[in-house]
Amino acid sequence: MARPVSNPPNRFEPTHIEWADDLGPPDAQLQVFEERAKSCLTENRSPDMPFRFGLNPYRGCQHACAYCYARRSHPFLGFGAGTDFDKKIVVKVNAPDVLAGELRHGKARGQLVSVSGITDPYQPLEARYTLTRRCLEVLERFENPVAIITKSALVRRDAEILARMQKVAGASVFLSVPIFDPELARAIEPGAPTPRERFAAMAALSEAGVETGVAIAPLIPGLNESDIPRILEAAQRAGARSAFLSLLRLPGEVREVFEERLRECVPGKAKKVLAALHEMRAGRANEGAFGERMRGHGARWESISQLFDTCCRRLGFESGEAGQEERLRPIGIDPNKRPQARQGELFRE
């Protein structure tokens, strides 16, 4: 069901629309914008990320997750960060060809490529455009290792190619499952497959020989920390070998979108969730400093971290062996060495 248009004001536009109270906004319908990109590989400069190069065939995401930090990039296109991000999707139709040209000229050749670090590479439009699959075929041809993070069960379609890549250069897939309860997940992540479908995809990939992991990202204090044991146990049964955890980030307009959805879906918990987040962020809703963005501070965060770490050790996840200070931070990848993309080498919790 389409949600009403609800977008924070675009910080790049001098004006914004306010709807009359008696009419309200119109229903938001999906709009697809096809684009011929000049480049596909983006270079990551953040020490918080375990990869140097990222690949994003789409901009905007139909999964419509309220907390998605990538919403903040949509205003650069002249769109809103709210339902515009969910319903106005930019498709880079020539992505596979551009990627092949960049690799042919040496960019990221043989190095780990993250697909996709900003918006989900397996959102519903992928079933039609197959851009992610065709990009994987290019990466396989050039023997580049790949790491994928997705919420979509559609990833199981590419199990065969990912299994081949695993043997040749390295491939790993992390399924993002931050919320275990299907009803709450549907409210916060309305366009994403159910948690059960994600675990089924994880099992299919694991069975095919692809290294899999689970991402509890984001951790929303007061909402999903009690889900940690159940998520990790379900992931372990599905064949996952690794896990990582990161705290909710609310940069810029993302905060407005998330708070609106939170108050709409779980009004009785909204104040407690926001208060807990501020407690872990030293009184702020967001922390932008490298090394601090993915984690929190204080007794409550330490308790969550210990719960996660204990569960990982009990279930035999590689991340359960991480050290006290680095357990929630991904390790960097040496850009001069070709990584083997084992899950334990991609993320350290």
Predicted confidence at residue 322, as pLDDT, reads: 32
When the pLDDT of each residue in the chain is averaged and rounded to a whole number, the result is: 83
Q: What is the pLDDT of residue 292?
A: 67
Torsion of Cα atoms, 222 then 226 then 228 then 234, to 10°: -130
Q: What pLDDT was estimated at residue 218? A: 95
Reported as a pLDDT band with limits 50, 70 and 90, residue 166 is very high
Q: What domains, with CATH codes, occur in the chain?
A: 31-346 (3.20.20.70)
Phi/psi of residue 36, nearest 5 degrees = -100, 105
Mean pLDDT on 147-175: 96
pLDDT in tens, 208-252: 999 999 999 999 999 999 999 999 999 999 999 999 999 999 988
- Three-class HEC string of 60-110: CCCCCCCCCHHHHHHHHHCCCCCHHHHHEEEEECCHHHHHHHHHHCCCCCC
Would the pTM count as exceeding 0.85?
A: no
Region 277-289: mean pLDDT is: 80
The answer, yes or no, to whether residue 3 has pLDDT greater than 90, is no
Retrieve residue 115's tokens: 């697909």
Under 8 Å between Cβ of 144 and 166? no
